Structure 1
Amino acid sequence: MSDKKQVSAHFHTNLGLYWLVSGALLISVSVIGIPLLLLWFPLGIWATRRYIANMSAELTEQKLIVRKGLLTRTENTIPLDKITDMALIQGPIMRLFGLHKLTVETAGQSGTGALINLVGVVDVYHFREQVLTQKSLLNQRQENATQPPTLDALFVENLQQINATLLRIEQVLTSHSSQ
């Protein structure tokens, strides 16, 4: 079975600004952090641009593939049939920027919290709906493949076999009678 790409997630343009402001708020809480703000913005702008450029989320027929990272790049491949929950979270700063965090939890994951956190997906409601719809389609295909044939299907198959046998007998009889 092929695993064609169904959809790719795109990320908001103001995601980097959200991370810069969030980091600045955290740094400015401490007295030591206030001078670090002078370094935070130039380094933060560079780092957030690079990080966002390395982020991707692709939905295929059977899995969700998430890539991200700045220095250490990670790729998580999540089989759709293992996804147990996809939650949307929006804190006050996220609300200000119109962003959501999409968390993906799976069956059998170790530890607490979500396996995947995606912040800033454009039209996150639609993306989540597409993942859940594809998950449902995959589950239906797997159920149909594992279900035993129905009684009607067995009758039809037997009748087709009997019909084929009768046709072969008829051909043999007609060939013997014409000789």
Structure 2
Amino acid sequence: MRDQKRVSAHFHANLGLYWLLSGAVFFLFSVVGIPLLLLWFPLGLLAIKRYIANMSAELTEQKLIVRKGLLTRTENTVPLDKITDMALIQGPIMRMFGLHKLTVETAGQSGIGSLINLVGIVDVQEFREKVLLQQSLLRERQTAATDVKNTDTLLVENLQQINATLLRIEQNLPPHSSQ
């Protein structure tokens, strides 16, 4: 069975401007960074555009796939049944730009913090709801499959008990003579 794509996330057009401004604020507050501000705007703008072009988030029937990176590209594939929390975070600068950060935490995750951080998804609340809905549907299917397995196991066990009982009855019957 092929894992079909359900939803692809799209990113806000002003995400690059948010990152550019966040970097500028960082450089502004560091004494060493003030001269770097002149380089930050042209180089940062170019790097941010390339980084955003490499970002994607896809929801399939069974997993969430996130790709991002500029020099080192990473792809995280998270099975939906392993997701334990999806939080929405919005700081003051993000609020100015109408952006949210979506964090995804999983069972068995090592380290502190979330496994996946995505900033700037368009309609992030709707995307989150679709992921959670697909996760719920997947769990229902898995529960139904487990119920069928349990029913099959019970039927086989009952048939084995009936067979054993019939064998005991047959052994206790007197030998059958032919006429």
Q: TM-score, normalised by structure 2?
A: 0.83
Residues 34-54 of structure 1 deviation map (CA, whole Å, 9 limit, x = unaligned): 110000000010000000000
What is the 5 A alignment of 1:71-110?
71-110=71-110
The percentage of aligned residue pairs carrying the same residue is 78
- Hey, what's the Cα distance between the residues in 2 that align with 1:85 and 1:37? 37
Give the paired residue count: 152
- 1:149 equivalent in structure 2: 151
- Hey, what's the Cα distance between the residues in 2 that align with 1:31 and 1:136? 50
Please list every run of 5 or more consecutive structure 1 residues that lacks an aligned counterpart in the other structure. 155-179
Q: Which runs of 4+ in 1 moved over 6 A?
A: none
Q: What is the DSSP-based 3-state SS (H/G/I as helix, E as strand, rest coil) of the residue aligned with 2:138?
A: helix
Does 2:7 align with 1:7?
Answer: yes
Letter in 2 for 1:22: S
Letter in 1 for 2:62: Q
- 1:172 equivalent in structure 2: none
Q: What is the DSSP-based 3-state SS (H/G/I as helix, E as strand, rest coil) of the residue aligned with 1:35?
A: coil
Q: What is the DSSP-based 3-state SS (H/G/I as helix, E as strand, rest coil) of the residue aligned with 2:99?
A: coil
Stretch deviating more after TM superposition (78-87 or 25-34): 25-34
Please list every run of 5 or more consecutive structure 2 residues that lacks an aligned counterpart in the other structure. 156-179
Letter in 2 for 1:149: T
Letter in 2 for 1:77: T
Does 2:24 align with 1:19?
Answer: no
- 1:39 equivalent in structure 2: 39
Letter in 1 for 2:17: L
Residue 18 of structure 1 deviates from its aligned partner by 0.2
Q: What is the DSSP-based 3-state SS (H/G/I as helix, E as strand, rest coil) of the residue aligned with 2:36?
A: helix
Q: What is the RMSD computed on CA atoms of the aligned residues?
A: 1.3
- Hey, what's the Cα distance between the residues in 2 that align with 1:17 and 1:88? 20
Q: What is the DSSP-based 3-state SS (H/G/I as helix, E as strand, rest coil) of the residue aligned with 1:121?
A: coil
Letter in 2 for 1:32: V
